[in-house]
Amino acid sequence: MSHQTTHRTHTARVPGQPRATEAAPVAAERGPGTVEVTLTVNGTVHDIEIEPRVSLLDALREHLDITGPKKGCNQGACGACTVWVDGRRVVSCLTLAISCEGHEVTTVEGLADGDELHPMQQAFVEHDAFQCGYCTPGQLMSAIALIEEGHADDDAEIREWMSGNICRCAAYPNICSAIRAVRDASEGGR
Amino acid sequence: MQPIAYTRVSDVTSAITEAASDPGSEFLAGGTTEVDMLRIGVARPRRVVDINDLPISRIEELPGGGIRLGALARMSDVAQAPSVRQRFPMVAQALELGASAQLRNMASMGGNLMQRVRCSYFREGTAPCNKRVPGSGCAAIDGVNRGHAVLGTSEHCIATHPSDVAVPLVALDAVVHIQGPQGTRTVGFDDFFLLPGDTPDREHPIGHGELITAIDIPPMPMARRSHYLKVRDRESYEFALTAAAVAMRMENGVIGEVRIGLGGVATKPWRARRAEEVLTGQRPDRETFERAAREEMAPAVRRSMNGFKAELGRRTMVRALETVAAMGGTA
């Protein structure tokens, strides 16, 4: 996935704090109170103060103001909070933020290259693949991933591999056609 | 969610030491069950020990055609592994019919075995539940029990085991490797899951601080012809009402060997030994399949809303048997 590290910048670091990507301390207990957690999101390193119980979804939305991932069911059932961790799509509501130290998190905000939308974002616009738009960030993260995973051969397969993302407006036919369009445009180019 | 402390470990010994030395610590793997249970207040550890960095996520070949699945191998990776897809298609099928792509990317094989039941009374903190609060009673027995078990139940618990992949694995006699403070041991798959009996709170033979390190699938050439059939209320992203995993080998026109696991109908991944016995040495026809399935489901205990599972389970088994029989292959 070539879109992950487009805008790499680094925030100021607290001196003396090891980077999470370096050797993690073994068996050091942290919390239950607030601890410093280092998250790499869309190529930017952030240090935040959170309790270990905070989900990745809440850390993104409430502490980093990255509000693309949406809070729907908060129990892994709706897919609105789908993000990539190390390039794999996961639900951020069932992921503890602290467990993401040392891993790369990508949200819908990390898809566009400056003002240029990711082809899947562009296809969602062109195919009218969202109505209220609440589920759309998660749908986009899954839609891109399923093509990368090689699960876009036909509509039945697309629907099955998108089934972890629920849309209550039933924009499914347009989501499918957006995914088909990106699949067909990228065939041979992967 | 109650506050929790957090420790990340990078080797198996530290993981076991950390958990074993603290009754309030629980392992955190994929989190798809654990974080959910923390949030609804049913799991209440003081601390989680994050085991995701442990080097036990490989999918390895075993001599003779078996496969060793590291406990931290993700469901999606196991489903994709060519060795699993070719030698044990019903395992790959069961994995890909479980949960959603996102959850399969997170959930580990060991965690899959350790997942708790989806009984809504277990998960709803105030209802009587012998699994959650031993001795408090079972709200499901006279409650909304459409999704509950008809086989292997007791008067204390009728919760259905939720795992898909455990169903083919019980048919394959998979072996669970466990490491703990006292060393390592192995437990056969059928013994790993405990019937509720008088102690429904005891779901596994795993003690505190013990860790699943791997799951072995022994060699079984006939499993190349195998199938997992899952029946549910909607086509995708739903637990099974009934499920059947079947592998079969023909010998001179009769069934030489057959392995059957059932899901959705029982309190544990159910090995259909009665049906296997009825089928072995018989011609693979509809009548025989139906007789075997009827005998397997005969002990079914029906409650107010789940009686249909005895019949649906029978039909599911018959259709899975027919599907595998129709695959042809070595006669």
Beta bridge partners of A113: A116
Peptide bond connecting A32 to the previous residue in cis, omega within 30 degrees of 0: yes
pTM listed for this prediction: 0.93
* Mean pLDDT of all residues belonging to chain B: 97
Contacts 24+ apart (CB under 8 A), B77-85: B78/B109, B78/B165, B79/B104, B83/B59, B84/B59
User: Quick count: other Cβ atoms within 10 Å of Cβ B315?
Assistant: 16
**Rounded Cα–Cα distance for residues B6 and A28 (Å):** 8
- The DSSP call for residue B160 is P
- Who contacts B205 (Cβ-Cβ below 8 Å, separation ≥6)? B187, B191, B192, B194
**Rounded Cα–Cα distance for residues B309 and B304 (Å):** 11
- The DSSP call for residue A42 is T
B64 is written with which tokens? Answer: 């003779």
pLDDT of residue B329: 61
pLDDT, tens only, B228-254: 999 999 999 999 999 999 999 999 999
Distance, CA of A139 to chain centre? 10
Chain A residues inside the 8 Å CB shell of B120: none
- CATH 3.30.465.10-classified regions of chain B: 57-330
Is beta strand B5-8 parallel, antiparallel or unpaired with respect to B47-50? parallel
**Rounded Cα–Cα distance for residues B191 and B172 (Å):** 13
pLDDT, tens only, B118-171: 999 999 888 999 999 999 999 999 999 999 999 999 999 999 999 999 999 999
- CATH 3.30.43.10-classified regions of chain B: 5-50
pLDDT, tens only, B254-277: 999 999 999 999 999 999 999 999
CATH for B5-50? 3.30.43.10
Question: Could A89 and B102 be called an inter-chain contact, meaning their C-beta atoms sit closer than 8 Å?
Answer: yes
User: Quick count: other Cβ atoms within 10 Å of Cβ B34?
Assistant: 22
A54 is written with which tokens? Answer: 């905070």
B237 close contact with A: CB closer than 8 A: yes
Q: What is the mean pLDDT of residues B176-205?
A: 97
Is beta strand A104-106 parallel, antiparallel or unpaired with respect to A88-91? unpaired
B1 close contact with A: CB closer than 8 A: yes
ipTM for the predicted complex: 0.95
CATH architecture of the domain covering B57-330: 2-Layer Sandwich (3.30)
Chain B residues inside the 8 Å CB shell of A82: 102
Chain A residues inside the 8 Å CB shell of B75: none
pLDDT of residue B124: 87
Task: Name the residue of chain A whose CA is nearest to B102's CA.
Answer: A90
Q: For B62-218, where are the E strands, in sequence order?
A: 67-70, 175-180, 183-188, 211-217
Q: Structural domains in chain A?
A: 35-110 (3.10.20.30), 119-188 (1.10.150.120)
pLDDT, tens only, A4-37: 333 334 443 343 344 444 444 457 999 999 999 9
Question: Could A75 and B38 be called an inter-chain contact, meaning their C-beta atoms sit closer than 8 Å?
Answer: no
Q: Is B96 helix (H, G, I), strand (E, B) or coil?
A: helix
Is the pLDDT reported for residue B223 higher than 90?
yes
**Rounded Cα–Cα distance for residues B284 and B280 (Å):** 9
Helices (H), B11-52: 12-20, 34-40
Of residues B242, B271, B251, the one with CA closest to residue B259: B271
**Rounded Cα–Cα distance for residues B13 and B36 (Å):** 27
pLDDT, tens only, B47-83: 999 999 999 999 999 999 999 999 999 999 999 999 9
B312 is written with which tokens? Answer: 């649906």
Task: Name the residue of chain A whose CA is nearest to B35's CA.
Answer: A94
**Rounded Cα–Cα distance for residues B116 and B175 (Å):** 20
pLDDT, tens only, A60-118: 999 999 999 999 999 999 999 999 999 999 999 999 999 999 999 999 999 999 999 99
**Phi, psi torsion values for A142, nearest 5 degrees:** -75, -40
Contact (CB, 8 A) for B306 and B147: yes
Question: Could B53 and A24 be called an inter-chain contact, meaning their C-beta atoms sit closer than 8 Å?
Answer: yes
B45 is written with which tokens? Answer: 């550890």
